[in-house]
Amino acid sequence: MRLCRIIVRECLPKITLRPTRSHTSFRPNYYYYFCVPSLNTKMPTIAVDAILFDMDGTLIDSTPGVLKAWSTFAADYGLTNAAEIAHKSHGRRLYDTLKEWCNIDGEEKLQSEIMRFEDEVIEGGPVVLPGAIEFINQIESGRPSESPSYGWTIVTSATNIYTPKALARCAIPLPPAGLVTSNDVSSGKPHPDPYLSGARRCGADPAKCLVVEDAPSGIKSGHAAGAATLAVCTSHTEAAITESGCNPDYIVKDLTRVSARWVDGKIEVTIDESG
């Protein structure tokens, strides 16, 4: 237990405040509080101006299509272990990974191969992940008309051609703030550019945003942008995320473990980290 004088909203969610009577040994005319650990530390609530979602692995799962595409490209470019390449490249821009693994230098050829790769992924049939649509609907349905922030957007390493196709296939609405895709940034994740751009799209301070990610590279990007980070264990185990050193602020199984509501112009997000 410790003694402090602080406003309630700054103490939540990690501590609960209990007012006490003033004591003669304390400074006069001050109101003091004893701060004790919350009994519900596994379900914190945070208030943010906007939520910035990664797409693949966070909102949708395109694993079968990605594995199929990398198998095709492995055969075409003489690569081995397509599954390992798919795992290592997850969360990064195709622009970067195709240059790295397939040694494609020409810009025209690279763009053509990106389109061919993404067409194979779409054919593989991306599916929506649990809780994604419900969580987005909670943000969308409650947003005050006078709010200066759009509330949410999607920040993805995919292209501006693939992204709307994948979202439409999974019945996920386009964010009112517009998308941030690999075409919109000069440096991909883990660089901060993607999530800085996402915050700008929403009209929000990055430090008052929550980044929702499944990949260590994206979590690092969110941290570098100055945002709070929430990891979902949809493509990586909690142990793998921890061992990667990306240090997310919160970790949940999937988006069924989070909920959102608008309160006083901010989005209050309740996060169930209980497992």
Q: Which residue has the tokens 């003669």?
A: 24
User: 53 in helix, strand or coil?
Assistant: strand
pTM above 0.85, yes or no: no
The closest alpha carbon to 258, from 228, 220, 216, belongs to 228
With a cut of 50, say whether residue 34 has pLDDT above it.
no
Of the residues 49, 56, 61, 193, only one is catalytic, namely 56
Query: Rg of the chain over CA atoms, in angstroms?
Result: 21
pLDDT band at 21 (very low <50, low <70, confident <90, very high): very low
Q: Is 56 a catalytic residue?
A: yes
pLDDT band at 41 (very low <50, low <70, confident <90, very high): low
Q: Is 119 a catalytic residue?
A: no
Number of alpha carbons in the 13 Å side-chain half-sphere of residue 209: 34
User: 139 in helix, strand or coil?
Assistant: helix
For residue range 107-145, list pLDDT tens digits in order: 999 999 999 999 998 988 899 999 999 999 999 988 888
Of the residues 54, 61, 193, 214, only one is catalytic, namely 54
| CA 100 to mean position of chain CA atoms | 25
**Sequential DSSP letters for 34-83:** EEEE-TTTTS-EEEESEEEE--BTTTEE-HHHHHHHHHHHHHHHT-S-HH
Q: Tell me how far apart the alpha carbons of residues 73 and 80 are, in angstroms, rounded to a whole number.
A: 10
User: 49 in helix, strand or coil?
Assistant: coil
pLDDT band at 182 (very low <50, low <70, confident <90, very high): very high
The more confidently predicted of residues 146 and 48 is 48
Domains and CATH numbers, the chain: 2-37 (no CATH), 45-61+126-271 (3.40.50.1000), 63-123 (1.10.150)
